[in-house]
């Protein structure tokens, strides 16, 4: 198979065989759901319901008057029992709406979007429709989808890339969706193409999923617009927007720029699926598929869960924990976030939960300048130099050495034979640079 890729990157073991062939199971509605008011990149939400209110599944419960944001909907019917501080998988703690499931199945569905009319809809109408559905990127960063497909005046979107790379080890939720829910993804893809104005659609899939590639090659000719399937070399971080674009179109997104700057918009397959489902069934983004895996969970699974499901409820459904449980990670092992509590909810950006019996640590040595970090950095940075500048608090120099270009993929720290926490140090430099520029430094 002829595959495309980008320079740099690493080849960690994929561990995907654990769940790759497990069909998506539906996690039953738990008794309680917790919906944090920060679900996405952008303006935090404000609740539009209050304690004691009864809500239906699919009803909007939080929104805010801002462009870069996406509203939140109730993912089951029930009563708002409180609005309080709760554990958040990324932010530590954050205000959340707590919803008690009342067991009824009352729903508030929108009118379905006529599928045959998608290509005749006004892009602006579709963008507003996407916002109302609470659509955000489900690959992890959770950037509001309607913002992505709204190019500023003077810029055109030529290409829509559907990101089916799923380059993080362990995760298989996107892979399963691409096999099991292909027609919904096809509808979502048409809506995204129409909303963004893209004339060409490309679907990038890593070559460790040959059955997915075959299925899509068979499916794509049935779509009413030209869709090209692009097999990609299995390499981390192939699923990063910038590197997907580099691999597929050989275009480099400028420093500090967006895919828009090179005429591209990238959307994750799961986002595309959620959009397709809303068109068909009228349900906003209230569920998602996650992968539960790792050596410390008894029954690894791909699970369709309501947003807001608590980890402590999901664990028993996966057969419980296999002791000793040492570490829990939300997301993939390369960029995911270690959790300090099992009471965290699934948020829109949750691609999975990983459970580990052991902690992977390396003894730290001085940097031997082996250049493994340089060769693996997909952004062509010199991670060891940036890390050293960060250690010495030389943040201005770090900025000049393009620290802000770092996508925090962790390829450098994965490779480093000296066990230096390179990404952590670069993240520190980045936050210091951003802080000082906010203070009005420059």
Partner 1 sequence: MAEEELYFSPSPHIKSKTTVPWVMRQVFLALLPAAVGSGYFFGFRYVFPSILISILACLGFETLDCLIFKKPLTIYDGSALVTGMLLGLSLPPGSPFWIALVGSGAAIILGKQMFGGLGQNIFNPALVGRAVLLISWPKAMTTWMARPPFALLPGAEGAEVVTTATPLTINQMNGFPFLQELDPQILKHLFLGQVPGSIGETSVLLLLLGFLYLLWRGVVSWHIPLTFFGGLSLVVLLGGESLFFHLLAGGAIMGGCFMATDYVTSPMTRRGQLIFGLGAGAITGIIRLLGNYPEGVTFGILIMNATVPLLDRILPPQFGGEKR
**Binding to partner 1 by residue 328, rule CB under 8 A?**
yes
Q: How far is CA 265 from the centre of its chain?
A: 15
Burial (CB count within 10 angstroms: exposed 0-12, middle 13-18, buried 19+), residue 384: buried
Pick the piece of the chain touching partner 1 (CB under 8 A) from 38-46, 222-230, 362-370, 433-441.
362-370
Pick the piece of the chain touching partner 1 (CB under 8 A) from 34-42, 104-112, 225-233, 321-329.
321-329
- Closest residue by Cα to residue 247 from 415, 11, 407, 8: 8
* Secondary structure percentages of the chain, helix, strand, coil, to 5: 30, 20, 45
Residue 171 vs 187, nearer CB to partner 1: 171
Residue 127 vs 372, nearer CB to partner 1: 372
CB of 261 to partner 1, least distance (A): 5
Binds partner 1 by CB under 8 A, chosen from 136, 244, 335, 429: 335
- Other Cβ atoms within 10 Å of 72 Cβ, number: 29
Residue 357 vs 436, nearer CB to partner 1: 357
Binds partner 1 by CB under 8 A, chosen from 79, 200, 251, 304: 251
The DSSP output letter for 385 is H
Binds partner 1 by CB under 8 A, chosen from 54, 223, 382, 404: 382
Binds partner 1 by CB under 8 A, chosen from 254, 298, 319, 434: 254
Binds partner 1 by CB under 8 A, chosen from 66, 141, 371, 434: 371
Q: In what order do the strands lie in the sheet with 159-164?
A: 227-232, 200-206, 159-164, 264-268
347-364 burial, b at 16+ Cβ within 10 Å, e below that, comes to bbbbbbbbbbeeeeeeee
| Euclidean distance between CA atoms 332 and 192, whole angstroms | 26
Binds partner 1 by CB under 8 A, chosen from 65, 117, 361, 442: 361
- Other Cβ atoms within 10 Å of 129 Cβ, number: 19
**Binding to partner 1 by residue 394, rule CB under 8 A?**
no
CB of 384 to partner 1, least distance (A): 7
Residue 244 vs 335, nearer CB to partner 1: 335
Binds partner 1 by CB under 8 A, chosen from 264, 310, 405, 429: 405
**Binding to partner 1 by residue 319, rule CB under 8 A?**
no
Q: DSSP for 88-115?
A: ETTTEEEEEEEEEE-S---B--PPPPPG
How many residues lie near partner 1 (CB under 8 A)? 71
State the greatest distance between any 2 C-alpha atoms of the chain, in Å, as a whole number: 62
Instruction: Name residues whose C-beta falls within 8 Å of residue 44's C-beta, 6 or more positions apart in sequence.
Output: 37, 38, 64, 69
Output the six-digit token pair for 439: 């203070």
Pick the piece of the chain touching partner 1 (CB under 8 A) from 18-26, 75-83, 189-197, 317-325.
317-325
Asked whether 325 and 296 are in contact (CB, 8 A), the reply is yes
**Binding to partner 1 by residue 435, rule CB under 8 A?**
no
Query: How many Cα atoms sit within 13 Å of 350 on the Cβ side?
Result: 38
Pick the piece of the chain touching partner 1 (CB under 8 A) from 103-111, 116-124, 226-234, 414-422.
414-422
Residue 368 vs 434, nearer CB to partner 1: 368
Angle (nearest 5°) at CA 117 between 112 and 119? 125
Binds partner 1 by CB under 8 A, chosen from 327, 396, 404, 436: 327
Residues in 119-178 that interact with partner 1 by CB under 8 A: 155, 169
Q: DSSP for 230-296?
A: EEE---BTTTSHHHHHHHHH---PPTT--GGGGTEEEEEHHHHHHHHHHHHH---S-EEEEEEESTT
**Binding to partner 1 by residue 255, rule CB under 8 A?**
yes
Residue 226 vs 419, nearer CB to partner 1: 419
Pick the piece of the chain touching partner 1 (CB under 8 A) from 44-52, 133-141, 188-196, 403-411.
403-411
Binds partner 1 by CB under 8 A, chosen from 167, 185, 205, 253: 253
Pick the piece of the chain touching partner 1 (CB under 8 A) from 47-55, 133-141, 227-235, 406-414.
406-414
Residues in 9-28 that interact with partner 1 by CB under 8 A: 10, 12-13
Residues in 261-300 that interact with partner 1 by CB under 8 A: 261-263
Output the six-digit token pair for 183: 């027609």
Rg, the chain, Cα only? 21
CB of 360 to partner 1, least distance (A): 5
Length of the chain measured in residues = 442
CB of 388 to partner 1, least distance (A): 10
CB of 332 to partner 1, least distance (A): 9
Residue 23 vs 360, nearer CB to partner 1: 360
| Euclidean distance between CA atoms 105 and 140, whole angstroms | 29
């Amino acid at each position: 198979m002829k595959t495309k890729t980008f320079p740099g990157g690493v080849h960690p073991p994929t561990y995907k065989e654990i769940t790759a062939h497990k069909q998506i199971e539906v996690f039953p509605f738990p008794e309680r759901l917790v919906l944090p008011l920060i679900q996405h990149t952008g303006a935090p939400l404000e609740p539009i319901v209050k304690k004691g209110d009864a809500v239906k599944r699919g009803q909007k419960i939080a929104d805010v008057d801002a462009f870069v944001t996406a509203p939140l909907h109730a993912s089951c019917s029930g009563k708002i029992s409180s609005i309080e501080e709760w554990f958040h998988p990324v932010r530590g703690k954050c205000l959340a709406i707590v919803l008690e499931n009342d067991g009824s199945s009352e729903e508030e569905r929108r009118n379905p979007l006529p599928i045959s009319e998608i290509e005749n809809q006004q892009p602006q109408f579709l963008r507003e429709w996407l916002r109302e559905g609470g659509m955000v990127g489900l690959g992890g960063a959770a950037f509001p989808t309607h913002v992505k497909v709204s190019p500023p005046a003077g810029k055109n979107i030529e290409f829509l890339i559907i990101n089916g790379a799923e380059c993080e080890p362990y995760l298989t939720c996107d892979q399963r969706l691409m096999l099991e829910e292909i027609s919904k993804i096809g509808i979502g893809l048409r809506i995204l193409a129409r909303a963004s104005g893209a004339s060409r659609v490309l679907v990038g899939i890593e070559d460790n999923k040959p059955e997915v590639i075959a299925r899509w090659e068979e499916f794509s000719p049935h779509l009413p617009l030209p869709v090209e399937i692009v097999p990609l070399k299995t390499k981390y971080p192939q699923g990063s927007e910038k590197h997907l674009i580099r691999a597929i179109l050989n275009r480099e997104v400028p420093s500090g720029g967006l895919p828009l700057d090179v005429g591209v918009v990238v959307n994750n397959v799961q986002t595309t699926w959620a959009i397709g489902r809303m068109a068909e069934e009228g349900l906003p983004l209230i569920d998602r598929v996650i992968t539960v895996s790792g050596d410390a969970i008894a029954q690894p699974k791909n699970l369709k869960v309501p947003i807001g499901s608590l980890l402590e409820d999901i664990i028993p459904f996966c057969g419980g924990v296999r002791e000793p449980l040492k570490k829990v990670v939300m997301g993939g092992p390369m960029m995911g976030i270690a959790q300090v509590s099992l009471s965290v909810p699934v948020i829109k950006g949750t691609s999975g939960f990983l459970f580990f019996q052991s902690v992977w640590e390396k003894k730290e040595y001085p940097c031997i300048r082996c250049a493994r970090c340089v060769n693996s950095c997909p952004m062509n940075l010199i991670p060891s130099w940036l890390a050293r500048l960060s250690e010495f608090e030389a943040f201005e120099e770090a900025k000049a050495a393009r620290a802000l270009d770092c996508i925090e993929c962790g390829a450098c720290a994965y490779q480093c034979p000296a066990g230096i926490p390179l990404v952590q140090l670069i993240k520190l430099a980045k936050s210091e640079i951003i802080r000082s520029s906010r203070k009005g430094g420059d």
